[in-house]
Amino acid sequence: EGNGRRVEVARGLGLPGGGGRREVRSASGRGACGAGGSRGADPAYPTLQSGARPADPGRPPRGRRDERPPAFFPFLDSNQENDLLWEEKVPERTAITELHQTPHVSFSESDIPPSESTELPVDWSIKTRLLFTSSQPFTWADHLKAQEEAQGIIQHCRATEVTLPQSIQDPKLSTELRCAFQRSLIYWLHPALSWLPLFPRIGADRKMAGKTTPWSNDETLQHVLMSDWSVSFTSLYNLLKTKLCPYFYVCTYQFTILFRAAGLAGDDVITALISPTTRGIREAMKNEGIEFSLPLIKENGPEKRKASGTGLRHGEEQAISDEDEEESFSWLEEMGVQDKIKKPDVLSIKLRKEIHEVQMDHRPESVVLVKGMNTFTLLNFLINCKSLIATSGPQAGLPPTLLSPVAFRGATMQMLKARSVNVKTQALSGYSNQFSLEITGPIMPHSLHSVMMLLQSSQNGSFSAGLYTHEPTAVFNICPPKDNVLDKEAVHEELANCGLHPKTLDHLCRTPVLGKLSLRHVEMSDYIYNWRS
d(CA 35, CA 27): 11
Q: Using one digit for the tens of pLDDT, what is the confidence trace for 223-248? A: 999 999 999 999 999 999 999 999 99
| Length reported for the chain | 533
**According to the per-residue pLDDT averaged within each range, which of 16-20, 49-53, 79-83, 183-187 is highest?**
183-187
Q: Is the N-terminal amide bond of 442 cis, ω within 30° of 0?
A: no
d(CA 69, CA 63): 15
Q: Using one digit for the tens of pLDDT, what is the confidence trace for 336-346? A: 655 555 556 56
Query: Which of these, 14, 122, 82, 95, lies nearest to 452 by C-alpha position?
Result: 122
Q: Using one digit for the tens of pLDDT, what is the confidence trace for 506-517? A: 999 999 999 999
d(CA 517, CA 471): 9
Give burial (CB, 10 Å; 0-12/13-18/19+) of 484: exposed
The confidence score (pLDDT) of residue 358 equals: 61
Mean pLDDT, the chain, whole residue set: 77
Q: Using one digit for the tens of pLDDT, what is the confidence trace for 156-201? A: 999 998 889 989 988 999 999 999 999 999 999 999 999 999 999 9
d(CA 315, CA 137): 69
Which residues partner with 251 through β-bridges? 256, 401
Collapsed DSSP state (helix, strand, coil) of residue 315: helix
Statement: residue 47 has pLDDT above 50 = no
DSSP string, 335-372: HT-TTTS-PPPHHHHHHHHHHHHHHTTTSGGG-EEEET
Q: Residue 470: what residue type?
A: H
Cα distances (angstroms) measured from residue 312 to each of 107, 292, 315, 321, 415? 36, 14, 8, 12, 47
The confidence score (pLDDT) of residue 424 equals: 73
The confidence score (pLDDT) of residue 178 equals: 95
> Residue ranges of the domains in the chain?
78-185+417-478+513-532, 193-209+218-412
Share of the chain above pLDDT 90, in %: 52
d(CA 436, CA 420): 6
**DSSP class of 429:** T
Beta strands in 77-125 (DSSP E): 115-117
**According to the per-residue pLDDT averaged within each range, which of 41-55, 326-340, 379-393 is highest?**
379-393
pTM score, whole prediction: 0.72
